């Protein structure tokens, strides 16, 4: 009989989560993603241990903001040369790099320590529906925070695939 008390390797296993960002608010979505990347949703959470999961985000081109943030927010970076401040407005950033908007928001929600870059490396963001080979790793999908009743981990679930399944069910059932 084993006398080991504590966390096992199974408790630290990483799970792949899928998020459909269609019509979601940037800040609330980034907060939820940051919690999963840190591992705060697990009972074994420890701030000094990197026990978070992978997160795959699709459809980030259709994320929303509240208020006038889409006209007021400026993304700034500096080249470290004199006069090297570059400012990009939110709408131009949304056209060119919509994934960077969400990555910047999640980065701001993570603790500023040595684990930050490692956690951000587990965040995969796609501007459309397609996620390539990464889609086969997904175990959990959350649109509203819950898993669908007929959850199948072998197929990735997005809002568009759920709409197609619901439309097929409506056609199959006679009215």
Please give the domain boundaries of the chain with CATH numbers for all domains: 10-172 (3.90.1180.10)
Which burial class, exposed, middle or buried, applies to 33 when counting CB atoms under 10 A from its CB (0-12, 13-18, 19+)? buried
Q: What is the pTM of this model?
A: 0.75
- Residues 109 and 155: their CA atoms lie apart, in Å, by 30
- Residues 159 and 142: their CA atoms lie apart, in Å, by 10
CA R_g for the chain = 19
Q: Do the Cβ atoms of 129 and 29 come closer than 8 Å?
A: no
Render pLDDT for 86-137 as a digit per residue (tens, 0 to 9).
999 999 999 999 999 999 999 999 999 999 999 999 999 998 888 877 777 7
């Amino acid at each position: 009989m084993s006398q080991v008390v504590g966390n096992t390797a199974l408790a630290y296993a990483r799970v792949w989560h899928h998020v459909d960002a269609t019509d979601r608010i940037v800040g609330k979505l980034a907060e939820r993603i940051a919690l999963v990347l840190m591992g705060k949703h697990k009972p074994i959470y420890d701030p000094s241990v990197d026990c978070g999961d992978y997160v795959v985000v699709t459809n980030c081109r259709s994320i929303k903001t509240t208020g006038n943030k889409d006209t007021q927010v400026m993304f700034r970076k500096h080249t470290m040369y004199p006069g090297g401040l570059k400012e990009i407005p939110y709408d131009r950033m949304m056209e060119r790099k919509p994934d960077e908007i969400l990555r910047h928001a999640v980065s701001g929600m993570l603790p500023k320590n040595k684990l930050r870059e490692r956690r951000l490396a587990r965040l995969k963001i796609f501007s459309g529906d397609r996620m390539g080979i990464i889609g086969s790793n997904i175990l959990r999908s959350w649109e509203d925070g819950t898993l669908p009743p007929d959850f199948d981990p072998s197929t990735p679930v997005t809002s568009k695939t759920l709409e197609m399944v619901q439309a097929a069910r409506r056609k199959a059932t006679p009215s």
